[in-house]
């Protein structure tokens, strides 16, 4: 579980789905054709291959469920944050 706020980067995961569960607060997930607004207790699964950008305007506690080897930045290029999400959302 992670507590953070701000905009993450636009990215997609070619081989893995990604689940977001909002434990506390609100989370906006921008997709190229719509915006999903999640409140405490709500969740969404972003299918593999779908470009998305998580945004929290205020502090939010969010649990991400994805495979252990998922790179948090997916296919995004030119970023220094190419890390595994093992235990932490950057």
* Digit-coded pLDDT (tens) for 46-89: 999 999 999 999 999 999 888 877 777 666 665 555 444 444 44
pLDDT tens digit sequence for 2-39: 555 788 889 999 989 999 999 999 999 999 999 999 99
User: Are residues 51 and 10 in contact, defined by beta-carbon separation less than 8 angstroms?
Assistant: yes
Backbone angles phi, psi at 49, to 5 degrees: 85, -5
pTM across the whole model: 0.76
Could you name the CATH architecture of 2-65? Sandwich (2.60)
Exposure on the CB side of residue 45, measured as CA atoms within 13 A: 6
Backbone angles phi, psi at 70, to 5 degrees: -65, 130
Residues 6+ apart with CB under 8 A from 45: 17, 18, 19
Domains of the chain by residue range: 2-65
Residue written as tokens 């995004």?
76
What pLDDT, on a 0 to 100 scale, did the predictor assign at position 3? Answer: 53
What pLDDT, on a 0 to 100 scale, did the predictor assign at position 83? Answer: 46
What pLDDT, on a 0 to 100 scale, did the predictor assign at position 76? Answer: 62
């Amino acid at each position: 579980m992670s507590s953070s706020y701000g905009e993450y980067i636009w990215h997609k995961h070619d081989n893995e789905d990604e689940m977001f569960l909002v434990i506390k607060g609100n989370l906006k997930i921008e997709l190229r054709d719509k915006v999903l607004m999640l409140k405490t207790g709500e969740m969404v699964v972003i299918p593999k291959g779908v470009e998305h950008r998580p945004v929290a305007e205020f502090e939010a506690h969010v649990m991400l469920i994805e495979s252990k080897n998922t790179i948090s930045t997916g296919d995004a290029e030119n970023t220094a944050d190419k890390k595994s999400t093992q235990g932490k959302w950057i």
